[in-house]
Amino acid sequence: MSGTLFNIQRFCTDDGPGIRTTVFFKGCNLRCAWCHNPESQSSDVQLMFFADKCIGCGKCSKKCPNALESCQLCGNCALYCPEDAREICGREYSADEVMDEILKDRAYYEASGGGVTFSGGECILQIDFLCELLKLCKENGIHTAVDTAGYVEYSRFERILPYTDLFLYDLKCADADLHKKYVGVDNTLIIENLGRLFDAKKEIWIRIPVIPTVNDTEQEMLALRQIISSRGRPSRIELLPYHAMGEHKYAALGREKMSFPVPADEKMQILKNIFS
């Protein structure tokens, strides 16, 4: 079995306990206006062009079978570009290939209490591939985490429950109108699925991005706290401050992005206190 990924990152420390390998699936059914991984959103393989790195040498054009017109994603331009200004984002991986990468760091997982985190994009959209990888990890005694935004049919969660040790569950906005405006979909299913995962007695870490001008109000955070506490008890709640580090990737994909300010440390502390 195979699936489309855009990155496998080793030695991660922000995606669950201990030292982890994070596997990034391509494709997402949400469109968060602040997304810092826009290359994760399309399920297709894409060509990215970082104009600020280009020195105009022309090698890409000479090596391209179509002289840079109507790209067929052959990857030649990226291969021959001396400045890494062109990049093919995403490719098909077999489950064995992914497992080979994951198993390289088994000793680090064991020493640190870490494991593997499947992320994206929305990794649950490629449910068959995800299920197979989770099973293989459990057969190898590796701790598994699934990072999800929760906007999928619950039957998909049911398939991965037996092989998932931890869910990293993203909540964005409590207010339904805000959610629809900035994420692109209604939040009802996401909230319902969170309740079902609590009922299934799974370990959950909640992750909330703090986006100034969108959800950085005490009112929104109190409402999110109410949503969480009325459904169960996560082992951790993380507030993640907005950062602009992914902005250059929008330009590389030929897209525009909404701008948001970065939240001040004092504001983050006030909002964190709501959950303490």
Contact set with ligand SF4 (CB under 6 A): 47, 54-60, 63-66, 68, 71-77, 81-83, 85-86
Q: Which residues have CB under 8 Å from 33's CB, separation 6+?
A: 182, 183, 211, 214, 257, 258, 260
Compute the 3-state secondary structure of the chain and give helix, strand, coil in percent, each to the nearest 5.
40, 20, 40
- Closest separation in Å from C-beta 91 to ligand SF4: 12
Q: 231: which 2 tokens?
A: 């459904």
Cβ proximity to ligand SF4: between 81 and 102 the closer is 81
- Closest separation in Å from C-beta 1 to ligand SF4: 26
Cβ proximity to ligand SF4: between 189 and 251 the closer is 251
Cβ proximity to ligand SF4: between 56 and 155 the closer is 56
- Closest separation in Å from C-beta 54 to ligand SF4: 3
Q: 142: which 2 tokens?
A: 């590796």
**Following CA atoms 41, 42, 48, 50 in sequence, which dihedral angle do they give, to the nearest 10 degrees?**
-20
Cβ proximity to ligand SF4: between 108 and 250 the closer is 250
> Which of 166, 103, 164, 89 has the alpha carbon at shortest distance from 130?
164
Q: How far apart are CA 8 and CA 180, in angstroms?
A: 31
- Closest separation in Å from C-beta 58 to ligand SF4: 5
Cβ proximity to ligand SF4: between 74 and 200 the closer is 74
Q: How far apart are CA 74 and CA 191, in angstroms?
A: 41
- Closest separation in Å from C-beta 55 to ligand SF4: 5
Cβ proximity to ligand SF4: between 55 and 176 the closer is 55
Q: What are phi and psi of 239, to 5 degrees?
A: -100, 125
Q: 212: which 2 tokens?
A: 């100034």
